[in-house]
Amino acid sequence: MATNSEPIQVSSLPLPPMQYINQYTDEMLRRGRTPRPPPPIHDQYHMFGNAFNTEENIIRPLESQGIKRLYPMHFDRRRELKKLNQSLLANFLDLLDLLVHCPDSPRRAEKVEDLSLLFIHIHHLLNEFRPHQARETLRVMMDLQRRQRIETAHRFQKHLDKVQEILQQALQSLPEAMEVDSKTLIEADLMSKDCLLQDNGKSDPCYILDRIMCKVVDNM
């Protein structure tokens, strides 16, 4: 069986819902028959099996989730994270010790609960840094855009200066205006004199007789 050696194009994003796209064609838009957007949520909604309230904070406090707080209300996040990390390591070592010596001890379930509670607190403290992370990410993006625009402006200024220099050199290489006018006047004067001579010769009858005599002499 022959195999196809060409690479297969795979999209990293799912295909758009065709039953939704077909309702937003140009004809539907022109007739005004497109579906209306869903109404905004004002009170409560469910996501990933959990209920959320729109009036609550993005990062809900632990008490609203029914979780006991292990650190005070006013604290240093860096210090508390270090303490939680050390407590997590100590409880994990205690759990290993229990599993080695007495695996059937009821304290094993308590240690598992303690580890779960410590992980929840660490995760919660890290989530409280999300607004700060978002602000820093936005600041870095805006700073990058500012540097790119400044570099683009500098490059544009360099090209503009080069074009102005080329135009200045071209203007300097052009002849002077008086010299051009004098040459033009001389050529025009000569052309006008030639035209006058030709016109005079055509209108003068003596010029015609002279041509006839010269022709007779040449034929003799």
- pLDDT band, residue 155 (cuts 50/70/90): very high
**What residue type is 154 in one-letter code?**
H
pLDDT per residue over 17-33, tens digit each? 787 888 888 888 888 88
pLDDT digits (tens, 9 = 90+) for 172-200: 887 665 554 555 555 555 555 555 555 55
Confirm if 58 and 68 have CB atoms less than 8 A apart: no
Q: What is the pTM of this model?
A: 0.47
Q: What would the pLDDT profile of 117-136 be if each residue is shown by its tens digit?
A: 999 888 888 888 888 889 99
Report the C-alpha gap between 217 and 107 in whole angstroms. Answer: 147
8 A C-beta contact, residue 120 and residue 67: yes
Averaged pLDDT of the chain: 78
Percent residues over pLDDT 70 in the chain: 72
Residue 1 has a pLDDT of 46
Residues 25, 32: Cα–Cα separation, whole Å: 10
d(CA 22, CA 188): 75
| Residues 82, 90: Cα–Cα separation, whole Å | 12
